[in-house]
Chains A and B, each alone.
Chain A
Amino acid sequence: MVSTVPIVYTIQGCDACVKLLDKWNADGVVFEERRADLSQDIMEEARKYGDVVPIVRYPDGRVEEGFEGGIGCFIG
């Protein structure tokens, strides 16, 4: 099923992830968070799109890694 909102892959303890989600929450952005540190399936899914969380998949197919210039946590 294609998502109609951005999907953001995060991990606990990632300051960049917290900053992005805080910004989006403040801006009223609707998104779906998927925690890559909670299951191998989500970790593998995140790795399809990038190496550095937060990884954002937009409905139009664009992918962005990191926050504000690439800052984030490396998940390999």
Chain B
Amino acid sequence: MAEKTTVVTPERYAQGFNYSDYLAQIKVNQDRFAMYDETAVEAVTDDDAGFFKSAVEKGCSRVVVIGEDWCPDVYRGMPVIGRIAAVSGMDMKVFARDENLDIADEFLNRGEFRSIPTLVFYNADQEYLCHWIERPDSVTQEMADITKAVETELAGQSEEAVRDARRERVNARFPEWQKETVRDIRALLSQTLGM
């Protein structure tokens, strides 16, 4: 939970990248961000867009996104919040985690881990509303299930074969996991804003 004293002041918020500027300066995975930007368009339905517009009208007008370009959860998840922001009018600012550890440390996963992406929602007065970390629980479970299934099915085969099979199955699920991310964020804001 965000502490009463926060480093995310309005002045600090203004220092964040907008999404397009963030993408322009990343060093790795530009192709993957581009790919999942496209699938994020389908992940956020018209009904979702209407919900998030209402959320903005109810005061959820800003989101801080903490991430790093090398992270698969980020290149899958950041396009989702980017699309949500684009269709709803929510203002989005991106902060590279490792250059903003003080921000990251306000929102540690289970109080211990600097997990990414982390999304922190605020109203127009920069008052904290809620935050979301990393990925839906259902996705975490499915990742583990895929790993176990691949290791069982390919037992005795090379580590490379197991890794390639796992990657193929996991990457095939990314578009659906983006839809689950939308549902997860929607549920969080619905609960927070009483929608």
Contacts and interface: CB of A to CB of B under 8 A. Distances in A.
Interface in B58-103: 68-73, 97-98
A12 B114 CA distance: 13
Given A13-B97, A50-B163, A76-B167, A43 B28 contact: yes
A74 interface: yes
Interface in B162-182: 163, 166-167, 170-171
Interface of A is mostly: loop
Interface string B143-157: 000000000000000
B71 to A, nearest CB: 7
A45 to B, nearest CB: 12
B29 interface: yes
Contacts of B28: 36-40, 43
B4 interface: no
A76 B72 contact: yes
Interface in A9-65: 11-13, 36-40, 43, 50-51, 63
A40 B28 CA distance: 5
A13 B163 contact: no
B110 interface: no
Interface residues of A, number: 16
B27 interface: yes
Contacts of A11: 68, 70
B167 to A, nearest CB: 7
B194 to A, nearest CB: 36
A12 B167 CA distance: 23
Nearest to A42: B28
Given A13-B114, A50-B163, A51-B167, A74 B71 contact: yes
Contacts of A13: 68, 97-98, 114
A18 to B, nearest CB: 12
A74 B72 contact: yes
A26 B167 CA distance: 35
B72 A75 contact: yes
Contacts of A74: 71-73
Interface of B: 27-30, 68-73, 97-98, 114, 159, 163, 166-167, 170-171
